[in-house]
Amino acid sequence: MTTKKNVPFPGVCLFLVWTLFSCGLEDLPFIGHVPEPLSTLSGTMPLEGFLLPSFGAEYPFESFVIFYRIYLSTHAEGAEAVIDHVQRSNINPTLNTNFNAFATLAYHGGTAMPDTAGLDNRFQSAGFMRLALENADIDHVLGTGALGGRLRIDFSHVPGQPPQLVLDGVSHYLRRAEHSVHLGWFNPVPAIEGALPFLNHPELRRAEFTHGNEGNNAVNLDVVNRTGAGIDPYLVIHSYVLMYIAATGRSHHTVPPTRVFSQPTFLGIFRLPDHM
């Protein structure tokens, strides 16, 4: 005859709770963040660039992704020396607001890992776009071959010289986005011989083309105008870009595979070179 054992009800509950919260903890997807380049403190990126992390096979890594947003300004805040909230606000109050919105998420000194689920959507909901490259697939350029590579974003202030992404000595011109998951397709201007360079061009600065203008909100959705009391629109003659980088991949512990992201890393705030 089989002896029936009685298990106390509280014990069963505790066992089930422990099983629920402990099962598979070691399988939680995680990607380490990109270390801060020197631009985080000085506002400038070193000429030698900075090293991207090298993840092992245990990480669900696919590529690095760069988010950006362009801000128009009446203020010339040096070449690449934006380091505090006063300078950010002088350039464009929205720039300072956007920077503050991601400050905690991009802070790497905490003891707890912040929630990075849906990071792509969070950036794009805030008006950021994914950076592209001219004549190259950025997901391929910043894919597994970029692990451990030396990266630099070159905003040399030679008039007419488009900024470049330089990875291990190989250069690609930056290309502005034409699509956002949050905002859909749009038509950025100026298009120069098919290219969409990061240049401070009069077409880029046209107020009626910037993000949020009714009737023209399908043009430069990656650009924020400088508005406010006492702002002379004829003095809006400068433009800056705020950039973050993150690692991304897919966790195959879920069906379908889940898109996962690292913490973002602040790359810098750079002034766009004049178009000529």
pTM of the model: 0.86
Structure confidence at residue 75 (pLDDT):
86
Closest Cα partner for 190 from 19, 56, 100, 70? 70
| CA distance linking residue 209 with residue 142, whole number of Å | 31
Average pLDDT for consecutive 10-residue bins of the chain (276 residues)?
Answer: 47 42 49 79 71 88 97 78 82 95 91 86 95 98 96 88 95 96 90 96 93 78 90 92 95 79 93 90
Structure confidence at residue 7 (pLDDT):
45
| CA distance linking residue 151 with residue 252, whole number of Å | 28
| CA distance linking residue 241 with residue 225, whole number of Å | 12
Structure confidence at residue 217 (pLDDT):
67
Structure confidence at residue 19 (pLDDT):
39
Structure confidence at residue 20 (pLDDT):
40
**Domain residues of the chain, as ranges?**
29-235+248-258
| CA distance linking residue 186 with residue 212, whole number of Å | 13
Structure confidence at residue 81 (pLDDT):
60
